[in-house]
Amino acid sequence: MADNNPHQFSTQTTNVTFAQITDNTDFPHTGLIKALSLIGKGNMALKGSVTDFDITQATTGNVIVVKSGKIYRDGALHTIPSNGADTNFTSSAFNTTADAGSLYHLLVADSSNTLQIRKLSDATIADKVPEYDEGDTIIAVIMFNSTSAALGSMQIQFLTTGKIENSLSVGYSTGSSPNQIYNEAGSLTGDSNGITMTGLYKLDTLPTATVAANDKVIIQDTNDSDKIKTVTTQAIANLAGGGGGDSIEDADSDTKIQVEESSDEDKIRFDTAGTERMIIDETGKVGVGTSSPSELFHVKGNVLIEDGTANGSSDHLLELKSASSGDNARFILSADTDIKLPLIHLRDVEANSGTFSHHYSAYIALDRASAIVTGSAQNDLLIANGNHNKDIHFCTNPTSAGTQAQAKMTVQADGKVGIGTTTPSQELDVSGDIRLSGEIEINGNLNHDGSNVGFFGTAVASRQNVGNGSFVTNPANFGRPPADPNAFPGFEPNVDNYIAFLENEIVTVSSKLNDLIDALQLYGLIL
């Protein structure tokens, strides 16, 4: 026979259907009073499932089989029995020897979360409910009537509840007696997502305690702000004034922040996914991608600095400044205009047009607006001085440390380039020797000041005088031969003398050409 728990104070019956306790049917007896007394202390059965504490009766063997269920005891939730299994009771658990009247038993969950049958020590006493033990929670009253029923058909009265939820309100009194009223300070409510706390919560003065490595800390879930979680401290040092461990780490210890990996190393290490990513050593040097930083900040690997604003309008992406007062930037990566005076300025000039209009001492820029410099194309690399009528100098220090650098090449504001001079007088003005490896093409005059000249692979030689042929360069010699004063009047000039004169001139020209060829060969201009 099955007796299904109605999750209420029920009638006493052998029927599978239990009604609420009813006048003129269930006369008050001490079982009810005992159950109410325990409920007042916070000990009561709950409706954890529809089968909690259902009872099945039989005539032999396990006379009563009770399903597991849930109870509150002193405000705490318990599963009875703790393993969730059925509980079996044989006939020896009951009194069945009374001569007349009914024998009462209490089905209880004891303080150790075990189902028990409480019965009178004197098995012959009828119509009396047995005592409960401290910590018991009464589930049901079981009655055996030896004159009317046998084992397997005992009457059951459930003293359970249908409580299926629980909230906690914490309040305090306000007003003056006798007009004091309840005022809520806060509450705890529950749903499928967890526990919701309302009101203002604070901690009173607490004693200082040392945090152990396996203690837990309450944290708020950043992905779900209405939930809180717990995390073990994993030896977070000295949260409450005492010692502790040497790391903060996740559950599988592959992501952590740790100090002193080895004894007294005085380093802080940052690991993710089982790999060390960053270290701060005992001297304060920070290493990213390296465990042995050689500078105050040492990165081994690629570095990306990206403008975090939507329109790329941040003032400076990277700015390195000197320790001196004022705005003396030494290196700036900038995506917007400003009025700083950097020594080197790498700048995106996309938003600018026209000529340079900003008061910078220097530019190294990617031109993204073709009008920024006359004739430049988009995305050209610009090296320019934005200051009006100022030069660009390329300097080295060939002497010693601490001495002033010397300009080796200068680009004047007017475009003249000087090498070895800071005041070029021509488009290219070189003060010093020039060595060329390759061809040279001159589209214009080649002027020489008359000094010695030499070509690569030849000896330096002075300029030679080739001279001019008198006949060739004298227009008077062109035409008829000169008159022969000895010739008879009317006769033609002496042809023999003319021919001899021409031959002499040809010899002179040939000699001059040979001298010219020798000079060109000497200077390496011809082979």
**Domain assignment present for 125:** yes
Q: What is the pLDDT of residue 310?
A: 60
Confidence of residue 88 (pLDDT cuts 50, 70, 90): very high
Q: Can you give the pLDDT at residue 324?
A: 55
Tell me the CA distances in angstroms from 195 to 122, 191, 228, one per residue in order: 49, 7, 9
* pLDDT tens digits for range 291-303: 999 999 999 998 8
Query: Does the residue 383 lie in any domain?
Result: no
Omega before residue 81 within 30° of 0, cis: yes
189 assigned to some structural domain:
no
User: Which one has a higher pLDDT value, 104 or 501?
Assistant: 104
Cα 274 versus chain centre, distance: 16
Query: Of the residues 114, 142, 158, which one is the last residue of a structural domain?
Result: 158
Per the domain annotation, does 394 fall within a domain? Answer: no
pLDDT tens digits along 419-475: 999 999 999 999 988 888 888 777 777 666 656 655 555 555 555 555 555 544 454
What mean pLDDT value characterizes the chain? 76
The whole-angstrom separation of Cα 409 and Cα 371 is: 27
Q: Which two tokens stand for residue 262?
A: 């080895």
492 is a domain residue: yes
Give yes or no for a contact between 422 and 413, defined as CB atoms under 8 angstroms apart: no
pLDDT of residue 467: 56
464-487: average pLDDT = 55
> 171 in a domain, yes or no?
no
**Entry pTM:** 0.43
- Do the domain assignments include residue 390? no
For residue 54, the model assigns a pLDDT of 95
Residue 354's pLDDT band (boundaries 50, 70, 90)?
A: very low
Tell me: pLDDT of 498 over 70. no
How many whole angstroms separate alpha carbon 116 and alpha carbon 108?
A: 5
Last residue in a domain, options 129, 158, 187 = 158
For the stretch 200-214, pLDDT in tens is 767 777 677 776 667
Q: Which two tokens stand for residue 320?
A: 């390195």
Cβ atoms of 43 and 136 within 8 Å: the answer is yes
**Residue pLDDT, tens place only, 238-289:** 333 333 457 777 878 889 898 877 877 889 999 999 999 999 999 999 999 9
167 pLDDT above the threshold of 70: yes
- Number of domains forming the structure of the chain: 2
Domain boundary among 158, 186, 213: 158
DSSP state, 476?
G
Range of the domain at 109: 2-158
User: What pLDDT sits at residue 259?
Assistant: 83
Inside any domain, residue 202: no
